[in-house]
């Protein structure tokens, strides 16, 4: 039997700001559209008003190739890890796990973002895995997002 491994990616940056400021910005899903090249908006749902274990939110996403929009979609996510100033983690559509880890040293915060989801099967392996290079695109998108958060918070 062949063992399958999840598809994963990691991005990291160091931000010259206190961990509380960085954590607050990233865990506020209503602001993600300010930074992400793919997530263009988000909102808390089901009575949630902010990040907390079990809180749910919707995110609006767009995939583009240059000026051409290839796909638009929305996801429903649930916060599955929440430790103020340390961890913000959620699962989108019971499929992709997104995790942000925060570490502060002398007023400077290192934030690491990771994703993980099951391997593609069937036609998805060709379309997302090969043609769209989805893992690479997601990893690059995470780095762009973190770089934009850094730029915004260091102003």
Cα distance between residue 151 and residue 114, in whole Å: 20
Cα distance between residue 112 and residue 143, in whole Å: 9
Mean pLDDT throughout 116-133?
A: 75
Q: Is residue 4 part of a domain?
A: no
Q: Of the candidates 116, 155, 146, 151, which has an alpha carbon nearest to the alpha carbon of residue 32?
A: 146
- Say what the pLDDT of residue 64 is: 82
Any idea what DSSP says for residue 16?
S
Residue 15 CB coordination number (10 Å): 24
Range of the domain at 88: 9-153
pLDDT digits (tens, 9 = 90+) for 48-98: 999 999 999 999 999 887 888 888 999 999 999 999 999 999 999 999 999
Q: Is residue 3 part of a domain?
A: no
Q: Is residue 31 part of a domain?
A: yes
Q: Is residue 73 part of a domain?
A: yes
Q: Among 14-23, 67-76, 141-150, which stretch is predicted with the lowest mean pLDDT? A: 67-76
Cα distance between residue 52 and residue 54, in whole Å: 6
Q: How many domains does the chain have?
A: 1
Mean pLDDT throughout 34-47?
A: 97
Q: Is residue 108 part of a domain?
A: yes
Q: Is residue 55 part of a domain?
A: yes
Q: What share of the chain is helix, strand, coil (3-state, %, to 5)?
A: 30, 45, 25
Q: Is residue 62 part of a domain?
A: yes
Q: How far is CA 91 from CA 55, 62, 72, 104, in A?
A: 11, 18, 19, 25
Q: Are 52 and 79 in contact (CB under 8 A)?
A: yes
Q: Is residue 1 part of a domain?
A: no
CATH of the domain at 40: 3.30.530.20
């Amino acid at each position: 039997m062949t063992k399958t491994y999840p598809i994963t990616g990691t991005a990291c940056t160091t931000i010259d700001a206190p961990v509380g400021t960085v954590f607050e910005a990233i865990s506020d899903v209503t602001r993600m559209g300010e930074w992400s090249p793919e997530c263009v908006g988000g909102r808390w749902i089901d009575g949630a008003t902010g990040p907390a274990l079990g809180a749910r939110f919707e995110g609006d996403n767009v995939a583009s190739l240059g000026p051409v929009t290839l796909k638009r979609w929305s996801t429903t996510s649930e916060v599955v890890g929440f430790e103020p100033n340390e961890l913000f983690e959620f699962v989108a559509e019971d499929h992709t796990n997104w995790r942000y880890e925060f570490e502060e040293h002398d007023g400077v915060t290192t934030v690491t973002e990771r994703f993980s989801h099951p391997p593609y099967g069937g036609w998805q392996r060709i379309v997302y895995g090969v043609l769209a290079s989805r893992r690479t695109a997601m990893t690059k998108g995470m780095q762009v997002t973190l770089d934009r958060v850094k730029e915004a918070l260091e102003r």
